[in-house]
Amino acid sequence: MTTLRSDRAGRPAKLSWRIRLRRDRSLILMTLPAVVLLVVFNYVPLFGLATAFQEYDPLAGVWQSTWAGLYQFERLLGDSLFWGALKNTLYLSFVQLILFFPVPIALALLLNSVLSQRIRNFFQSVVYLPHFFSWVLAITIFQQMLGGAGALNQFLRSNDIGTWDIMTNPDTFALLVTSQVIWKEAGWGIIVFLAALAAINTDLYEAAAADGAGRWRRLWHITLPGLRAVIVLMLVLRLGNALTVGFEQFLIQRNAVGHDTAEVLDTFSFYYGIATGDYSYGAAAGLFKSVISLLLIWGANKLAHAFGEDGLYRK
Amino acid sequence: MTLAIERTSGDTVAKPLAVQAVRQKRKNERPAWEEPPTVAGQAAKGITLGGVMLVMLVPLWIIVVTSLSTQAAINRAGGLVIWPTDITFEAYRVMLADSTVRSALLVSLGITAVGTLVSMVVSVMCAYGLSRSRSLGHRFILMLLIITMFVNGGLIPTFLVVTGLGGYGEWWALILPTAVSVFNILILRAFYSSTSIDLIEAARIDGAGDWRILWSIVLPTSRAVTAVMALFYGVGYWNSFFNVMLYMPTDSEKWPLQYVLLTYVNRGNGMPGSVNSGFGDQFSQTAPLALQMAVVVLTLVPLLIVYPFVQKHFRTGVLTGAIKG
């Protein structure tokens, strides 16, 4: 029994693979449906990336389409619409990093200082909720509140202050989408930080208080260092995803605001790839984005390691 | 090189539960060493937290009240209604009599039910299959899964594969391509590999096979995380609309509720393919705004029914433990 327990599932390792296969065949069988689905819908499309180097013809398929080398990428680099989409993506990503990223941390710190468990629970129930709304629903709600016929303008009109249509104004679009992201996701974002806060040893606070540290000094010297690893991890994820700013959110609002401001790389891929049938061009844009994203994840991790943190994976 | 999510599996997962329990005990009263709160500080905190909750709840309140209002009340308010005056369920009656909305509701419920079932069966099996340490090939399969979190073909190659398999206009195109969430499998796996080890060993000695262990030991002892994962998957299917846009954009009988919401409320379009039935016609007869808001409420209702039962598990550390890493 003790030997079994030391090896958690009771599976000695040093056996021939034949015996292990017989022993573990049901386990392997269980993973099969998921593996098949991933192979068909994730790995096969990787080979489909070949279309980015072709002049893809839907009737001919991947095998018969003519190869075009780097032609699609040359087109991309010469396309001002593509550069516009890239610029928008980076700009929106930057605005979200500055305005969105600190919000869940601040909310978690604030909530963590509340003593009443009942208030904490109620607050969490409320702020987690919008995370489960679809983007269609979230944007419809924003439209009803802030749109031309929405609650805000209704109030402004009835008081003769004029109108302010936020939903279709390209100038404030970055702020609009960021406030949508904050409304929908900031509450959910506090979960990780609350968990990290709960893991901080409370003896540290007591010792610091006994040594005369006030609540701000305790925040600075105990709480924030305790959150450091999680903050770095979230930052790495955010930087690695700098080219992804939320696809559905932009897809829905692109027409209302105009593609000059609302086109991002993902919507570019969709509109110029699928909607217009120029599959190879869209696939090239998608591949461009994926490669840069991988480089970003790698770079962000290097940065995290440079600061002595683990980041997404260990050195 | 180990992934952050991977690092969690095993030992750290059980901890937050204990941490949470200790914390609740501590949190009920202010510890002796903490200085008494200032009035200004308490007020600022209360206003901020209250304000955040209001920003979440007030829009929902306005939408529900407007959906219950008569056209007269809406006209009086000049649009959305904030205080209910005369309550009517007329908008809901008209909405549920409408064939478009009825079929969209059925489609949404069907996709969500079938999709969640498929996803859960596949994920639970896969997570358990990978959760026994030192089983043959589990490292390789795990790697296979994790790679897909970072590298994928992207939108267009996936679209070409699905349509190449004949998925255009088919129901399975809305379910199978997104049926597996590797992230969810990793969370489940983290739980399975750390819970009920003693029970599993006892059962194995009694001669139970892996299927038996999964069904009668692992599943019953991990109900909370199973419920949370089912909610994640269910919400994903209920909320999806982009795959409809990809695979059945013109087939309006197959549209789910989210797509109907997008087309008729968000974009305010007319109803394609039906002149006499459907929204286009109903708009002229009843409070259009109330009707639109009723559709919004309809997409919310299933979520609000399920949410209270599942969200209590978020708190028990189920999620924080696994996500935290």
Contact across the interface for A128 and B314, Cβ inside 8 Å? yes
Find the closest chain B residue to A137 by CA distance.
Answer: B296
**What would the mean pLDDT of B114-136 be, rounded to a whole number?**
92
Domain match, A11 and A107 both:
no
The reply to whether A49 and A100 lie within a common domain is no
Q: Smallest CA–CA separation between B216 and chain A, in Å?
A: 16
A11 CB within 8 Å of a chain B CB: yes
Domain that holds residue A210: 79-306
Choose among A111, A129, A198: nearest Cβ to B23.
A198
Q: Are residues A52 and A90 in the same domain?
A: no
Q: Is the pLDDT of residue B9 over 50?
A: no
Residue A280, amino acid: S
Instruction: Compute the Cα dihedral for B129, B133, B136, B138 and give only its sign.
Output: positive
Q: Indicate whether this model's pTM tops 0.95.
A: no
Q: What is the pLDDT of residue A43?
A: 93
pLDDT digits (tens, 9 = 90+) for B58-85: 999 999 999 998 888 888 887 888 888 8
Residues of B (197-216) whose Cβ lies below 8 Å from A = 197-198, 200-201, 204, 209-211, 214
| B130 Rama class: left (phi>0) / alpha (psi -120 to 50) / beta | alpha
Query: CA-CA distances (angstroms) from residue B317 to A191, A193, B305?
Result: 10, 13, 22
Could you list the mean pLDDT of each consecutive 10-residue stretch along chain A, which spans 315 residues?
A: 41 72 88 95 88 80 78 88 92 93 94 86 91 92 85 84 81 91 93 87 88 88 90 86 87 84 89 86 90 89 83 64
Q: Quick one: A102 and A15 in the same domain? A: no
Q: What is the mean pLDDT of residues B145-170?
A: 88
Overall average pLDDT of the B114-140 stretch: 91
pLDDT band at B55 (very low <50, low <70, confident <90, very high): very high
Residues A36 and A143 in one domain: no
**CB < 8 Å to A198, chain B:** 16, 19-20, 23, 320
Size of interface A-B (CB pairs under 8 A): 325
Question: Which residue in chain A has the smallest CA separation from B52?
Answer: A127
Across B37-51, average pLDDT? 90
A219 vs A107, B143, B249, CA distance in Å? 14, 39, 52
**How many Cβ atoms sit within 10 Å of the Cβ of residue B276?**
7
Helix (H, G, I), strand (E, B) or coil at B15: helix
In a domain, A105, yes or no: yes
Q: Is B302 on the interface with A (CB under 8 A)?
A: no
Is residue B7 predicted with pLDDT exceeding 90?
A: no
- A8 and A110 part of one domain: no
Burial, B198: exposed, middle or buried (Cβ in 10 Å; 0-12, 13-18, 19+)? exposed
Q: Which of residues A17, A36, A64 is at a domain's end?
A: A64
Q: Which of B293, B250, B238 is nearest to B94 (CA)?
A: B293
pLDDT range class, residue B54, cuts 50, 70, 90: very high
Structure tokens at A93: 């990503």
> Can you tell me the distance from the alpha carbon of A61 to that of A30, in angstroms, rounded to the nearest whole number?
34
The percent of residues in chain B predicted with pLDDT above 70, rounded, is 81
Q: Convert the pLDDT of each residue in B160-207 to its tens digit.
A: 899 889 989 889 999 999 999 998 998 898 888 877 678 888 888 888
Distances in Å between the Cα of B129 and the Cα atoms of A33, B15, B25, B213 are: 11, 23, 37, 11
Q: Tell me the pLDDT band of B152, cut-offs 50, 70 and 90.
A: confident
Task: Report the CATH number that the domain containing residue A135 is assigned in CATH.
Answer: 1.10.3720.10
Examine residue A38 and state whether it is found in any structural domain, yes or no. Answer: yes
Q: Which residues contact A213 (CB under 8 A, 6 or more apart)?
A: A221
Show the DSSP H helices in A113-201 as ranges.
117-128, 135-146, 151-158, 173-198
Site of tokens 């068909």? A40
How many structural domains comprise chain A?
A: 2
In chain A, residues with a C-beta closer than 8 Å to the C-beta of B249 are none
Reply yes or no on whether the pLDDT at B2 is more than 60.
no
Q: Which residue has the tokens 């590999």?
A: B193
Q: How far is A90 from chain B (nearest CA, A)?
A: 19
Name, in order, each residue with C-beta under 8 angstroms of A179's C-beta and a sequence gap of 6 or more. none
Assigned domain for A73 exists: no
CB burial class (10 A; 0-12, 13-18, 19+) of residue B272?
A: exposed
B157 close to A (CB below 8 A)? yes
Residue A186 and residue A113 in one domain: yes
Confirm whether A181 is domain-assigned.
Answer: yes
Contacts of A21 in chain B (CB under 8 A): 136
Domain membership of residue A113 (yes or no) is yes
Q: Calculate how close chain A gets to B97, using CA atoms only, in Å.
A: 22
Which residue of chain A has the CA closest to B211? A26
- Do residue A197 and residue A275 come from a single domain? yes
Q: Residue A262 is which amino acid?
A: A
Beta bridge partners of A67: A54
Q: Is residue A74, in this structure, part of any structural domain at all? A: no
Domain locations in chain B? 37-88, 93-324
Nearest chain A Cα to B36, which residue? Answer: A215
Query: Considering only CA atoms, which of B203, B213, B238 is closest in space to residue B110?
Result: B238
Gap between the Cα atoms of A150 and A167, Å rounded = 10
d(CA A142, CA A139): 5
Give the per-residue pLDDT at B281.
45
For B213-241, write each residue's pLDDT tens digit.
899 888 988 888 899 999 999 999 999 98
Contact (CB<8Å) A7/B134: yes
Q: Is there a single domain that holds both residue A143 and residue A290? A: yes
**pLDDT (mean) for B282-307:** 79
Contacts of B45 in chain A (CB under 8 A): 110, 113-114
Give me the CATH topology for the region B93-324. Answer: MetI-like fold (1.10.3720)
- Is residue A314 assigned to a domain? no
**Distances A112 to B42, B48, B102 between C-alpha atoms, Å:** 13, 13, 44
Whether A164 and A277 map to the same domain: the answer is: yes
A35 with A108, same domain: the answer is: no
Q: Is A72 contained in some domain?
A: no
Rounded to 10 degrees, the C-alpha dihedral B158/B163/B167/B170 comes to: 110
The residue from A20, A35, A64 where one domain ends is A64
DSSP conformational letter for B34:
S
Comparing alpha-carbon positions, the chain A residue that sits nearest to B301 is A133
**A66: β partners:** A55
Residue A35 shares a structural domain with residue A164: no
Is the pLDDT reported for residue B320 higher than 60?
Answer: no
Residues, chain A: 315
**What is the band of B315 on the pLDDT scale with cuts at 50, 70, 90?**
low
